[in-house]
Structures are given as structure tokens and as C-alpha cells.
Amino acid sequence: MQITELLLANPDLLGIHPDRDKLRLIYRQHAGRKALVGQMLTAVAQLQTQIAGCWLIKHHLRKQQVLSSVQTRQLLQLLEQLQTWQAQSQVLQCMQYLNIPEACQRPTEQFIRQHLSASNTFVRAWAYDAFYRLASQYPEYMPEAQQLLEMGMRDEPAAVKARIKQLTGAGQASGD
């Protein structure tokens, strides 16, 4: 059975808080299959399964798996279709694992910038992180990224500052 079909057949996996234990089980059952990433991307592309699909992609990347350049492009082409803050934050969290193709640089930048002013602080925190990750791959953004992190440490609430501190505490944002 396809991942999207499994998600649609299980109400616990739909909505804003999908059951993570069940998502992990689905991932384990499909891990190693050639079509795994394609099926997860299909789930991201569908509104009903979008949050669960984004969670599965993030879980996949956190397991030290990678997306090919084609798969990365496919994911980044879905950015504007992400409808919920949960899906948006999941994909922003994925940026640290992605090699952003040059063809996707501008749309990815626009997506991240849009979320730097999101009303949801969790999304905003991960947008700061994602902008820094983009700047790490495209150095022309680094001066602005440094400036944004400084402004964030000065102006943002504690939740956003905590994310920035984690990013800069590893020596990453200071150039170490």
C-alpha cells in the first residue's frame, strides 16, 4: 500500500497533530524501498496528508538519509503549497539537511523570508535557522544572515532567541 493511502485510511494521521508513533511505524515499514521519497513527496503535495508527509520527510532526513537533487527540487517546488504552520515549520527544519540547487535558490529564499515575519514564533524561529542554512550554501546572503540573527537576539521572544542561540552556540553563525 502507498504511504498516502495509509495516511488517508487512518484518521489519527490526518489533521494538525498526526500520531507520531504511527508515522514512525509507517516509515519503518517503507524504509529502504526505492519509492519511499517519492511517496512521501506525494503526501506533501496533498493537503489532507501534507503535515504527515512533511513530518515523514523530516524524519527521513534526521535518520541521516539524503534527498537526491531531483527530490530536493521536487520538495522545494512544493513550498508555496504548504498550507499550515505545522507543514511550513517541518520543511523549514529540513533546510539544514538539504543542498539547495541553484535553480531553487530564489523561491527558497522568498519562502524563508516570508516566514521570518510569521505570526507563529515556532515557524519564525525555524525561518531564522533556514535563512542561515541558505546563507551557508550561498555566501552572498551571509552578511544579511548575521544581521538577522543579531536583530533576532535583540527583538524576538525567548523561543526564537533559543533557536538562534542553538545555531550560534555551535560556532556556526560566528564563522568558527
pLDDT band, residue 15 (cuts 50/70/90): confident
pLDDT of residue 32: 87
CA distance 165 to 159: 10
Going from N- to C-terminal start, the domains of the chain cover 1-65, 87-171
**Residue 171, pLDDT score:** 44
The grid cell for 112 is 524563508
Rounded CA-CA distance 152/131 in Å is 12
pLDDT tens-digit map of 56-102:
999 999 999 999 999 999 999 999 999 999 999 999 999 999 999 99
CA–CA separation, 131 and 149 (whole Å): 9
- Kindly report, residue by residue over 31-52, the tens digit of the pLDDT: 989 999 999 999 999 999 999 9
The closest alpha carbon to 154, from 146, 132, 127, belongs to: 146
Using the predicted structure, report yes or no on whether residue 174 has a pLDDT greater than 60. Answer: no
3-state secondary structure of 43: helix
